[in-house]
Amino acid sequence: MEILDSKLFHDFHGMLKGQEVTTSKKLYKDAKGFYQSVDASLDDNTIMYEVSCVNASKKEEGYLNWGISLLHPVYVNGECNMTRGHFHKDLNCEEYYWCASGTGLLMFMDENGKTWCEKMKEGSLHHINGHHAHRLINTGNEDLKVICVWNANAGHDYQRVEQMPFNVRVFKKGEEIYTQKR
Ligand SMILES: O=P(O)(O)OC[C@H]1O[C@H](O)[C@H](O)[C@@H](O)[C@@H]1O
């Protein structure tokens, strides 16, 4: 019997490593549209968040993806750094988010536009119903690292949240977090 080393390694407080891992970075210039206003003090090439994934060999039912999203503590005129956010293309596909470190909010939106959040902190585990759009928000002063597991056939429907955007924005002033209806 062969006893092999694992092909992948995920340090609890670090990134995902292994040959099959793909990483993408979201720069401020590609995220400007997420925020209420443009912050001229931020360099266009500021890295807002990074996503590393191990994608399944097939984008089919029964296959799973594993990933980590890492959001840096960047504020855009006081508005907290966030992911683009999406519905799944296949609404039958659920997802789990598990907070490895940092503090933030997981914003949900149902198909009627009702928006709410769950608090994220180290160890918090979040179930995402396939019918709910989801967006990560870093409200802390350190990286927010969130481990994600989702069906390989889920897909990302960004258009749907552009047509019906999350209707609440999250800001930080000093140490106070506050929200604003958009
Ligand atoms: O694609 P975004 O909405 O910007 O979110 C960033 C990423 O967050 C998590 O890692 C999800 O599971 C990924 O599927 C998603 O791509």
Give per-residue pLDDT as tens, 18-31: 999 999 999 999 99
- ipTM of model: 0.96
Q: Tell me whether residue 95 is in a domain.
A: yes
- Residue 15: what pLDDT? 82
Domain contains 67: yes
Cα 35 to Cα 78: distance, rounded to the nearest angstrom: 10
Which CA distances in Å does 114 have to 70, 126, 134? 26, 18, 12
**Does any domain span residue 14?**
yes
Residue 3 covered by a domain: no
The number of the ligand 1 atom at minimal distance from the alpha carbon of 158 is: 3
CA distance linking residue 175 with residue 181, whole number of Å: 20
Question: Predicted confidence band at 14 (pLDDT cuts at 50, 70, 90)?
Answer: confident
80 inside domain: yes
Atom of ligand 1 nearest to the CA of 85: 3
Domain that holds residue 46: 8-181
What phi and psi, each to the nearest 5 degrees, are found at residue 125?
A: -120, 135
Least confident interval from 7-16, 37-46, 95-104, 148-157: 7-16
Q: pLDDT over 70 for what percent of the chain? A: 100
Q: Output the ligand 1 site: residues, CB below 6 A.
A: 51, 67, 69, 83-86, 148, 150, 156
51 C-alpha to ligand 1 centroid (Å): 7
pLDDT interval class at 102 (50, 70, 90): very high
Mean pLDDT of the chain: 97
Question: What's 151's domain CATH number?
Answer: 2.60.120.10
Closest C-alpha residue for ligand 1 atom 3: 85
Asked if the structure places residue 1 within a domain, the reply is: no
Tell me how far CA of residue 100 lies from CA of 12, 13, 84, 104, in angstroms: 6, 6, 20, 11
> What is the per-residue pLDDT for 13?
77
pTM for this entry:
0.97
**Is residue 150 domain-resident?**
yes
Total structural domains within the chain: 1
Q: Show the CA angle centred on residue 97, arms to residues 146 and 179, nearest 5°.
A: 80
Range of weakest confidence among 13-22, 76-85, 132-141, 145-154: 13-22
Average pLDDT over residues 3-16: 90
> What are the pLDDT digits (tens) for 61-89?
999 999 999 999 999 999 999 999 999 99
Q: pLDDT at residue 12 above 90?
A: no
**Among 148, 151, 153, residue to substitute to test ligand 1 (most atoms within 8 Å of Cβ):** 148
Q: What are phi and psi for residue 94, nearest 5 degrees?
A: -90, 180
- Report the largest interatomic distance among the alpha carbons of the chain, rounded to a whole angstrom: 60
- To test the ligand 1 pocket, which listed residue (55, 69, 93, 151) has its Cβ within 8 A of the most ligand atoms? 69
Predicted pLDDT of residue 146: 98
C-alpha–C-alpha distance, residues 147 and 100, integer Å: 7
